Structure 1
Amino acid sequence: MKAAILDQAGKPLVIGEVDIAAPGPHEVLIRTAACGLCHSDLHFIDGAYPHAMPAIPGHEAAGVVISVGSEVRTVLPGDHVVTCLSAFCGHCEFCVTGRMALCLGGDTRRQKFGGARLTRGADKEVVNQMLNLSAFAEKMLVHEHACVSIDKDMPMDRAALLGCAVTTGAGAIFNACKLVPGETVAIIGCGGVGLAAINAARIAGAGQVIAVDPVPEKRELAKVLGATHVVDAMADDAAKQIIAISSGGVHHAIEAVGRQASADLAVAVLRRGGTATILGMMPLDCKVGLGAMDLLGGKKLQGAIMGMNHFPVDLPRLVDFYLRGLLDLDTLIAERITLDQINEGFDKMRAGTSARSVIIFDT
Structure 2
Amino acid sequence: MTTPTIPDKMIAAQVVELKRLYELVEVPAPKDLAPDDLLIKTAVASLCHTDFMVLEGLFGDTLPRTGSHEGTGTVVAIGSDVQNVMIGDRVMASIFCHPCCGCNDCLGPENFSQYCQYIGGKKGVTTHGFFAGYAAIDATQAAKLPDRVSFPTAAPLACAGCTVWRGVLQSELKAAEWLAIVGSGGGLCHIGVQFGKALGLNLIGIDARDEVIEVTKQRKADIVIDAIIGREKVVEEVKKVTNAGGSAGNACGERPGRLSWSPMRSRYPSAISSSEISGSRGL
TM-score (norm 2): 0.74
Q: Does 1:43 align with 2:53?
A: yes
Q: SS in structure 2 opposite 1:70?
A: coil
How do residues 1-363 of structure 1 correspond to structure 2 at under 5 angstroms? 1-22=10-31, 23-87=33-97, 88-97=99-108, 99-105=110-116, 109=120, 129-130=124-125, 132=127, 134-174=129-169, 176-181=170-175, 182-188=177-183, 190-214=185-209, 216-233=210-227, 235=228, 237-247=229-239, 251-252=249-250, 254=252, 260-261=263-264, 280-281=278-279, 303=281
Distance in 2 between residues matched to 1:153 and 1:207, nearest whole Å: 25
Distance in 1 between residues matched to 2:34 and 2:202, nearest whole Å: 49
Q: Deviations over 1:245-280 (max 9, x none)?
A: 11166532549xxx7417xx9x999xxxxxxxx972
Give the equivalent residue in structure 1 for 2:258: none
How far does residue 91 in structure 1 lie from its aligned partner after superposition? Answer: 3.9
Contact 2:75 2:91 in 1 (8 A): yes
Contact 1:211 1:227 in 2 (8 A): no
Instruction: Percent identity, please.
Output: 21
Whose RCO is larger (CA < 8 A, sep 6+)?
1
Contact 1:6 1:12 in 2 (8 A): yes
Contact 2:96 2:138 in 1 (8 A): no
Counterpart of 2:165, as a letter, is A
Q: SS in structure 2 opposite 1:162?
A: helix
Q: SS in structure 1 opposite 2:154?
A: helix
Q: SS in structure 2 opposite 1:151?
A: coil
How far does residue 198 in structure 1 lie from its aligned partner after superposition? Answer: 1.2
Q: SS in structure 1 opposite 2:264?
A: helix
Distance in 2 between residues matched to 1:90 and 1:74, nearest whole Å: 20
Q: SS in structure 1 opposite 2:166?
A: helix
Contact 2:51 2:67 in 1 (8 A): yes
* Alignment gaps of 5+ in structure 1: 111-127, 270-277, 282-301, 308-363
Q: Deviations over 1:311-360 (max 9, x none)?
A: xxxxxxxxxxxxxxxxxxxxxxxxxxxxxxxxxxxxxxxxxxxxxxxxxx
Distance in 1 between residues matched to 2:74 and 2:214, nearest whole Å: 34
How far does residue 194 in structure 1 lie from its aligned partner after superposition? Answer: 1.1
Counterpart of 1:66, as a letter, is V
Q: SS in structure 2 opposite 1:192?
A: coil
Which one has the bigger helix percentage? 1
TM-score (norm 1): 0.59
Counterpart of 1:29, as a letter, is L
How far does residue 34 in structure 1 lie from its aligned partner after superposition? Answer: 0.9
Q: SS in structure 1 opposite 2:190?
A: helix
* Cα distance, 1:223–1:53 mapped onto 2, change above 3 Å: same
RMSD, aligned CA: 3.4
* Cα distance, 1:192–1:59 mapped onto 2, change above 3 Å: same
Distance in 1 between residues matched to 2:25 and 2:223, nearest whole Å: 46
Contact 1:231 1:242 in 2 (8 A): yes
Distance in 1 between residues matched to 2:29 and 2:13, nearest whole Å: 14
Counterpart of 1:24, as a letter, is A
Distance in 2 between residues matched to 1:133 and 1:44, nearest whole Å: 12
How far does residue 186 in structure 1 lie from its aligned partner after superposition? Answer: 2.6
How far does residue 18 in structure 1 lie from its aligned partner after superposition? Answer: 1.6
Distance in 1 between residues matched to 2:38 and 2:117, nearest whole Å: 17
| Mean CA deviation greater in 27-36 or 145-154 | 145-154
Counterpart of 1:261, as a letter, is M
* Cα distance, 1:129–1:58 mapped onto 2, change above 3 Å: closer
How far does residue 90 in structure 1 lie from its aligned partner after superposition? Answer: 3.8
Contact 2:72 2:90 in 1 (8 A): yes
Counterpart of 1:178, as a letter, is E
* Alignment gaps of 5+ in structure 2: 1-9, 254-261
Q: Deviations over 1:295-322 (max 9, x none)?
A: xxxxxxx838xx9xxxxxxxxxxxxxxx
How far does residue 36 in structure 1 lie from its aligned partner after superposition? Answer: 1.9
